[in-house]
A and B are shown apart, each in its own frame.
Chain A
Amino acid sequence: MIPRTLLTLSLLLGVPAWAQAPDANLLAGACAGCHGVSGQGGHGIPSIRQTQNIVEFISAMQAFGANRREATVMGRISRGYSEAEIAALARFYARAQ
């Protein structure tokens, strides 16, 4: 699941275990709990698939985290994830288009 080169790199750099390459499938599993298995949304919960591209996804998550975009739970959620993880999720949902 983790490209071997990346893994080697992270080992060489001595970064903490959880800083190894994010697993987008697993991270998206958290989103699925509310937004549905493929991020389709429903019942008033927005579709993540409507986020058209990587930049839009990342800036939305940053805006939630900084309380610049009004939300119920998304601010509290986005502050739990690293930039690399949010980028991995952005790529994951962009691919899912």
Chain B
Amino acid sequence: MSLSRRTLLAVGLGGASLAAPRIALAQAGAGRVVIIGGGFGGASAARFARDHFQQLDVTLIERSRSFTTCPYGNLVLAGRRDMASITFGYERLAARGVRVVHQSAAAIDPAAKQVRLGDGAVVPYDRLIVSPGIDLRWGAIEGYDEAASARMPHGWMPSLQPISLLRAQLEAMPDGGVFVMAIPDNPFRCPPGPYERISMVADYFKRAKPRSKILALDAKGGFSKQPLFQDAWQELYPGMIDWRGVSNDGRVTRVNAGGMEVETEFGEKIRGAVINIIPPQMAGRIARDAGLANQSGWCPVKPVSFESTQVPDIHVLGDAAIAAPMPKSGFAASSQAKQAIACIAASLAGRPLPPAVYFNTCYSHVAEDYGISVVGVFRGTAERMIEVEGSGGISPRNATLTPERRVEHRRLEAHYADGWYDSITDEMFG
């Protein structure tokens, strides 16, 4: 179903009449929806559009032919999953009628309403969805650039660096080594992710390298699901994990990749056998280049539709968008995608926008059979995004559960996490 360069050029020069199949144009509310980025936001948007809005002509621009998820990368790190089990292709989306174009998006021209691809072809749109994920802020931590990340992996952007690199370093590490992590301040991709990573590395060490230690240096004073993680660390990995918050000199400001050493704000130098730097982040390049980001590096959007507040007819989804209190998570991106598509369909048909209700659940594995979660239901109004009072929140703490119920609750949440992963990836790629 993918178009050749020649066809796309013809579409670009020929204008709207050639762009969409005649059948689509004949329908009310028809229009060309172009999606940049085939991750949780983009792939979910494409699928939802095909399932519910046949009048929309959908093109997905994604450089890569496969997508490796960030979720469950930490289980690869622990040796509980392999890379193949978290990697997906776009064939099924194409079979559902999405025009999948494996090219990079070089530039967006909002005035002409078109996207220029890496090979020079031009794709016109009526509404554009930009779901580019994140870029890493190289140099925000002094000395941490792309070259340094080969020695001190980030493991935070599967498209840039497979999690298997960090896994290989952990496997090569002698028992008794110290695994050092640097964790950024908010906002960043996947708020509970670093702490799931601590847990899953501990799970691996406990089985394979029990004398090893984990030192987590955090630029924040607190973190997502903190009481649940810390209860579990004490219960499952006593004495193995040392988490230092910002008030305890936890912020890493400099690295020396050659010397395998990090330096904190107040000048303490710490060596590690394996070092994982999760650097500060910003919206993906294409979004910043198109003027979608503000001075924070992230993209402000209207809470009702995820349309950019800075450029009309472009919706920004997922990690790149400013959606707080919604977290930067895959599930959140998928929820935003459905709302954005419904809003696009409504606006093309001249109908009022649907009410904006968003949903997120983030599961984290603390051990293979020990899962915890945070849930949120959100509503977008013209002014702001709000979390519904009295709903959502984290799993109950140990102290509030009977011992039997506690074991069952954690086991079930680990199991449901696997179910969530199967369901949401099946929706995108199945």
Residues of A within 8 A of B (CB): 1-2, 7, 16-23, 25-27, 29-30, 32-37, 41-45, 72-73, 76-81, 85
Contact = CB atoms under 8 A, between A and B. Distances in A.
Interface of B: 48, 51-52, 304, 331, 334-335, 338-339, 342, 346, 351-352, 354-359, 361, 373, 375-377, 379, 381-382, 388, 390-393, 395, 409, 412-413, 415-416, 418-420, 422-424, 426-427
Contacts of A7: 352
A72 B395 contact: yes
Contact of B415 (A29, A43, A76): A43
Given A1-B342, A37-B51, A73-B373, A79 B395 contact: no
A77 B418 CA distance: 18
Contacts of A73: 361, 373, 375, 413, 416
A44 B419 contact: yes
8 contacts: A1-B354, A16-B381, A19-B355, A26-B342, A27-B357, A37-B423, A44-B419, A77-B377
A33 B416 contact: no
Given A23-B354, A25-B342, A33-B331, A72 B412 contact: yes
B405 to A, nearest CB: 8
B423 A72 contact: no
Contacts of B415: 43-44
A59 B141 CA distance: 53
A77 B391 contact: yes
Nearest to B374: A76
B39 to A, nearest CB: 15
Contacts of A27: 357
Given A36-B423, A73-B375, A79-B391, 7 more contacts: A1-B342, A16-B381, A20-B352, A32-B427, A33-B359, A72-B395, A72-B413
Contacts of A22: 355, 357
B95 to A, nearest CB: 15
B306 to A, nearest CB: 13
A34 B352 contact: no
Given A42-B423, A43-B422, A76 B392 contact: yes
B419 A42 contact: yes
Contacts of B51: 37
Nearest to A20: B355
B390 A45 contact: no
B388 A79 contact: yes
Given A17-B381, A20-B355, A76-B391, A34 B426 contact: no
Which residue among A35, A45, A80 has the maximum number of chain B CB atoms within 10 Å of its CB? A80
A10 B248 CA distance: 54
